[in-house]
Amino acid sequence: MPLDTETAVRHDWTMGEAEALYHRPFNDLLFDAQTLHRRYFDANQVQLSRLISIKSGGCPEDCAYCPQSAGYDTDVTAEKLMEVDKVVAAARQARDDGATRYCMGAAWRNPKDSDLENVCAMVEEVRALGLETCATLGMLSEPQAMKLKLAGLDYYNHNLDTSEEFYGDIITTRTYQDRLDTLENVRRAGINVCCGGIVGLGESRQDRAGLLVKLANLNPHPESVPINMLVRVEGTPLETVPDLDGIEFVRTLATAKIMMPASVIRLSAGRQEMTDEMQALCFLAGAGSIFVGDKLLTTANPDGDTDKKLFDRLGLRPAPAEGKPA
């Protein structure tokens, strides 16, 4: 049965509906995702974002996928918070390379107020360069979120990672509700929400559907939804987890687009391991943003020349900065 693509944005999705989308014939699923994507976005424009680690390693959390956890034996070492001028210099280079969005990530459980002052200074100066700003710093209190809002932060990233049912198999040092509380604090402060998850953690299709139901029933939807493919890192508990089927990843992205059609769906981590053909399917499924630059926090990412060649082959264009003509 064809999907009713005229349906307005919804916040009442059920597990049955999400699982039914996953089980649709692949061509039908991608057709409907692309149809909805075109209603809200230019289907041949992709936002270029840059993600930088402003504070790497030494994190007290135990996220099983993450090489920055202090509890795992990886090649990531604990470093201090980057100096503001170095962050701004890297942002200027990102802008000159074509990025319009600049994301700053710190390996913290939650930021100290003293560190937050420095991050606020980074936000102000990066925003002055004409870049859209995003930060991911761990859990936030409402006063901390307000400080970031006053500094001009456009987006705050805090992922749910997976379904509530599978979550405890991946993280034990903070609860699912902790994450939802941070999202609520960000919303109250008036900051746009960037929230998605990771697939390929060893979860079931039901877990992937559960994650999307939780995201799609947030009101309003996250304005930005990163869908990450697990990047397996030696020394983490998930280093030997089996590969997720590529078609299943594309199904997840397409289902996210159908359930949250007005949100920017980001083809996030894992592109280094994807073929050009798989990435093309992701764009067809409604991916409207990618991270560019050869590093994604502490893991590899395709370089700019590789992405340019792919864009040229697919007839894609970098999306202009908000408020600027194409």
| Torsion angle in degrees (nearest 10) through CA of 304, 305, 308, 309 | -150
59 in catalytic set:
yes
Catalytic residue among 59, 120, 195, 282: 59
266 in catalytic set:
yes
Catalytic residue among 120, 194, 195, 282: 194
The number of angstroms, rounded, from the C-alpha of 115 to the middle of its chain's C-alpha atoms is: 23
Sorted by sequence, the CB contacts under 8 Å of residue 285 that are 6+ apart come out as 29, 30, 33, 34, 250, 253, 254, 257
Catalytic residue among 24, 66, 95, 179: 66
Question: Can you read off the two tokens belonging to residue 32?
Answer: 């409907």
134 in catalytic set:
yes
Catalytic residue among 24, 50, 63, 95: 63
282 in catalytic set:
no
Catalytic residue among 50, 251, 266, 271: 266
Question: Can you read off the two tokens belonging to residue 2?
Answer: 């064809």
CB atoms within 10 A of CB 322: 11
CB atoms within 10 A of CB 188: 12
User: How many Å apart are CA 104 and CA 122, to the nearest integer?
Assistant: 9
User: How many Å apart are CA 60 and CA 57, to the nearest integer?
Assistant: 9
Catalytic residue among 134, 179, 232, 282: 134
66 in catalytic set:
yes
Long-range contacts (CB closer than 8 Å, 24 or more residues apart) made by 232-240? 233/65, 233/66, 233/67, 233/74, 233/299, 234/74, 235/67, 235/72, 235/73, 235/74, 235/75, 236/64, 236/65, 236/66, 236/67, 236/69, 236/72, 236/74, 237/64, 237/72, 238/64, 238/65, 238/201, 238/202
Catalytic residue among 24, 50, 95, 103: 103
120 in catalytic set:
no
103 in catalytic set:
yes
User: How many Å apart are CA 291 and CA 48, to the nearest integer?
Assistant: 6
What residues are annotated to the active site?
59, 63, 66, 103, 134, 194, 266
